[in-house]
Structure formats: structure tokens, C-alpha cells
Amino acid sequence: MMAYKTPVGLYYSKEHEWVKLEGNLAKVGITDFAQSKLGDVVYVELPEVGKAVLQATEQKSKEMEIGAAESIKAVSSIYSPISGTVKEVNEALKDQPELLNTKPYDEGWLCVIDAKDAAADLKNLIDSKSYEAHIATLE
């Protein structure tokens, strides 16, 4: 089994997005496990700044989408792990989509969301240890 990075201090969704919370601002990206499954990302579709997004549930809707990552073969939608308004997007991904693969937890972040009710949303997310256990069941 491959070892995937799951930094502590981040919150994770079971669908492989991470959240780094600073006050009400949530920086969001995809996990090392997610990027590894996607393969080499060649294009990243970013959300529009100002878009109101909902925390993803099992039943997906357009309002939960914060972009898409495309490899040569496939396209995967990315869903928001937290509700709020898109405040900033990572423009660097437009020219360097590979950052999603090489640095998923720092330079490969996707967007910053101004969280509506971070405390409530965090209850639906898991910590590093639980996420690690979760991906172990998927391999």
C-alpha cells in the first residue's frame, strides 16, 4: 500500500478534500490520496470568486461544486467541504495545474471560502487520523 500524506491540523472530507481554517476563512484543496487517484492533472477548472457554495452532502448539486480537475483521461468534479462564499481562487493553477499533484496541501490549494458557519460544518469533517483510517479502507 502506498503511504499518502495526511497533515495534522487540517480537516478532511471523506470525499478527499481538505480544509485549513483561519478564523472564518477556509482554505480548501484536494488530498494527496485524491491527486494520486486522479493522475496527472492537466487542467483545473476554478470556481468564480463570489460564488455561494454549500458543504457537499451525499446528494450532490451544482451549488456544492468548487471546480473540476482534469487529467488526460478523466474529469473529476471537486465539491466544497464547507459552506460559504468563494473569496479567492488559486490563479497559479491556471498555468501550473500540476501543482495539484505535486503540492496538494500548500501551493496546490484550490480556493479560499468565507465560511458561513464553520463550527457547524466542521462536525461533518474528520481529522487526519480518521482520514488516514478512511483511505486505508479504500485501498
Partner 1 sequence: MKILPLSKIHRKYGAQMVEFAGWEMPLKYIAIADEHMAVRGAAGIFDVSHMGEFKIRGKGALALLQKVTTNDVSKLAIGAAQYSTVLNERGGTRDDVVVYRMGEEDYMLVCNASNVEKIGGWIRKHAKDVEIEDVTMTTVLLAIQGPKALKILQKISSIDLSQIKRFKWAWGDVAGIKVVASRSGYTGEDGIELYLYDVPQSNPAIAEKLWEAIIKAGAPEGLKPCGLGTRDTTRLEAGLCLYGNDLNEEISPLEAKIDFVVKFDKGDFIGREALLKQKENGLKKVKVGLRMIEAGIPRKDHNIFKDGVEIGVVTSGTFSPLIKVGIAMGFVTPDLKIGDRVSIEIHGNKKAAEIVKLPFYDTTRYGYSRVASV
CA dihedral angle for residue 101, residue 106, residue 108, residue 112, rounded to 10 degrees: 150
Sign of CA dihedral 106, 36, 77, 64: negative
Answer yes or no whether residue 40 interacts with partner 1 by CB under 8 A.
yes
Of 21 and 111, nearer to partner 1 (C-beta) is 111
- Residue span binding partner 1 (CB under 8 A) among the ranges 11-19, 24-32, 67-75, 78-86: 67-75
Q: CB of 127: closest distance to partner 1 in angstroms?
A: 30
Task: Give the up-direction half-sphere exposure of residue 34: CA atoms within 13 A in the CB hemisphere.
Answer: 26
CA 41 to chain centre: 14
Q: Shortest gap between Cβ of 109 and partner 1 (angstroms)?
A: 19
Cβ closest to partner 1, residue 40 vs residue 88: 40
